[in-house]
Amino acid sequence: MKNMRSYEAFYEENREKMLEKVNEAYEYFKKTKTYAFPRWLYGNPIGKTMTLEVEDNPTFGETAYIEMDMARTAFLSIDMQTDFCGKKGYVDVMGYDLSLTAKALGPIKNALDVVRTTEMKVVHTREGHDPDLSDAPFNKILRSKIIGKGVGIGETPENGLGRLLVRGEKNWDIHESVYPIAGEYVVDKAGKGAFGSSTLHMLLKNLGVTHLIISGITTDVCVHTIMREANDYGYWCILMKDGTGATDQGNHEAAIKSVKMQGGVFGNVTDSSKVIKAIKEAIK
């Protein structure tokens, strides 16, 4: 029999320690359907503990729960800008059904009203480019001009609010109904993702964040990209599905479904009513 390649023995101890903790968490999940807050990894909670109901992943059943330290949890509101959910913004100019993205505004506002009474962090992101477009790839601008039938990133549409997806313009800023308040964080990014084109990862690490409740637009583009990035860095990601929207309903539904596959390949899925309920139960 051909010998299998083996690595240095010093790898084995840490691997066995990690697998022991995984097995403990697995046994606990089988009994309780709960992803316990890993105190061995993060230490004891520094804030109130919240247990959030999530839609379970295929083969696990109907419902599961995730336990989180509210002081180490951030609520992400991704790209809720006029450009993506308001009249005369980028999505509107591109000719898409604005209601499909704007529908996220109500659930996000409802969740924020409760989140803002807690020790959870709130982080908003904005996609946009420098006024000289030096951080906007040529092909991105070209594609936008084609779908916009002659009006693309960096240009002002007829009767528009300003140059599309350009920092500082009125249409680039966050929609008034979910606008940041004092004490919240805003991260500006040049791409669909944020971990490579902004300071988001540095901010979350400096805040001690371990868990993310993710909302925003669009589900299949910026939201999904950031969730995938965060998942790779070890953040516990929970998508608030009614607080998201896409320019195509089928893409929106497929993006939500893909999160739940393979045991939750990118995290978990919940909705605003469950988020609000979990917070109120934790702080009562």
- Element housing 279 (H / E): helix 272-283
Handedness of CA 22, 11, 43, 121 (dihedral sign): negative
Q: Annotated catalytic residue: which of 79, 92, 242, 271?
A: 79
DSSP state of 137: -
- Euclidean distance between CA atoms 189 and 79, whole angstroms: 9
Angle of helix 224-232 versus helix 249-264 axis, rounded to 10: 20
> Known catalytic residue: 237?
no
Cβ atoms 150, 188 nearer than 8 A = no
Chain centroid, CA 224 distance in Å: 7
In the numeric block, which tokens belong to residue 110? Answer: 């409802």
Active site residue 79: yes
Q: At what angle do helices 272-283 and 105-115 cross, to 10 degrees?
A: 10
Q: Which helix (H) or strand (E) holds 142?
A: helix 138-147
Residue (of 245, 153, 143, 229) closest to 193 by Cα position: 229
129 vs 79, 133, 192, 202, CA distance in Å? 13, 6, 12, 20
Residue 256 near residue 245, CB atoms below 8 Å: no
User: Is 113 one of the catalytic residues?
Assistant: no
Q: Which of 85, 222, 237, 242 is catalytic?
A: 222
Candidate list 88, 121, 189, 274, residue with the active-site label: 189
> Would you please indicate which residues are annotated as catalytic (active-site) residues?
79, 189, 222
